[in-house]
Amino acid sequence: MSYFRPLNQYELKSIFDDEALKVMNFLIKRAILAQPEKQNDSDSVTFRVPNEHMEQWVAQAIGGARVGAGSYPIDLISSDGKFGADIAIVTAKSDKRTGNLTTGKSGEKSLGQKFSDDEWAENESLTLDQLFAEEKILEIAQSSNNIFYKKFKKVILDYPSIENLYYFFIINHPEKEKFYLFGLSLNLDEKQPIGNPQHRYYKGKVSNVILDNFLGDSFGTVTTYKSKKRIELRLATKFLVDNNYCLKFNVPGKNQIVKLRNYSDEELKEYIKSEAENF
């Protein structure tokens, strides 16, 4: 048993119906339209959308409402109040030469950050740095588990009508200019045991702890980092796409080379018009 369970396509479509996917497709297209033009083949810019915009996209798509602010555990609640969700956009790892997805993990999604030393140490008078220095792997895993569980149980107390909690991810595959939707269901029926956490070394010292019983290994990893004092989730995007856990958005690419400085005012107007028509 794990905290996170991947949603299949049928479950995703029960939340994101045809109208919701139409809205998401439109908003992604409009965001692509606003991305900077390239001046040459090596001048591509990473796709960027502010988190607040992403939250509003999904709220618009499913008819929900944004809630909380800043570090609150969820970003929106459904119109009937029965589920809450956190929203994130992550970038998939892909081969620069072929453009194909690789087995590398995606960019991170924070599950919690900026914790005080008291929260980490709990009953011990040790900071997180000291826990790492003394290689107290089980204690780090237990504290991470407690912090995560406590954080999301607060949502249930704040919104008693909520029956389900989700994480929804927009996955950006930049080399192929593709976008996918993926979801995780969060199980908070009971606190999960810490299981068998693993750890990694950097320059002879423990640098992070890979947590167990959060997410199945095939789907990604959840890790506590010493340097960031943060718990992060990273997805195995190639596995998710190859095994049909994602919905794909049908959006055009924007890969033409444009020297905007050479355009007259009238040419810029025509360019904007033609771009809008293409999208």
| Kind plus residue range of the DSSP H or E element containing 144 | helix 137-158
Residue 123, pLDDT > 60, answer no
Tally the domains of the chain.
1
pLDDT band with cut points at 50, 70 and 90 for residue 40: confident
pLDDT of residue 35: 79
pTM (2 d.p.): 0.90
pLDDT of residue 84: 95
Cα–Cα distances in Å, from 28 out to 5, 74, 174? 26, 21, 13
55-69 average pLDDT score: 89
Pairing of strands 65-66, 76-77: antiparallel
Looking at every residue in the chain, the average pLDDT score rounds to 88
133-156 average pLDDT score: 91
Orientation angle between helical segments 18-33 and 51-62, nearest 10 degrees? 150
pLDDT of residue 128: 85
- 28-37, 51-60, 249-258: range with lowest mean pLDDT: 249-258
Residue 37 DSSP code? P
pLDDT of residue 254: 66
Residue 170, pLDDT > 80, answer yes
Q: What's the first-to-final CA gap in the chain, in angstroms?
A: 43
198-205 average pLDDT score: 90
Of residues 7 and 267, the one with the higher pLDDT is 7
pLDDT of residue 222: 97
Range of the domain at 251: 4-278
pLDDT of residue 264: 85
pLDDT of residue 80: 93
Return the percentage of the chain with pLDDT > 70, whole number: 91
- 12-16, 125-129, 206-210, 266-270: range with lowest mean pLDDT: 125-129
pLDDT of residue 141: 94
Question: CB under 8 Å to 173, separation ≥6 — which residues?
Answer: 92, 94, 101, 179, 180, 237, 241
185-214 average pLDDT score: 93
Residue 215, pLDDT > 60, answer yes
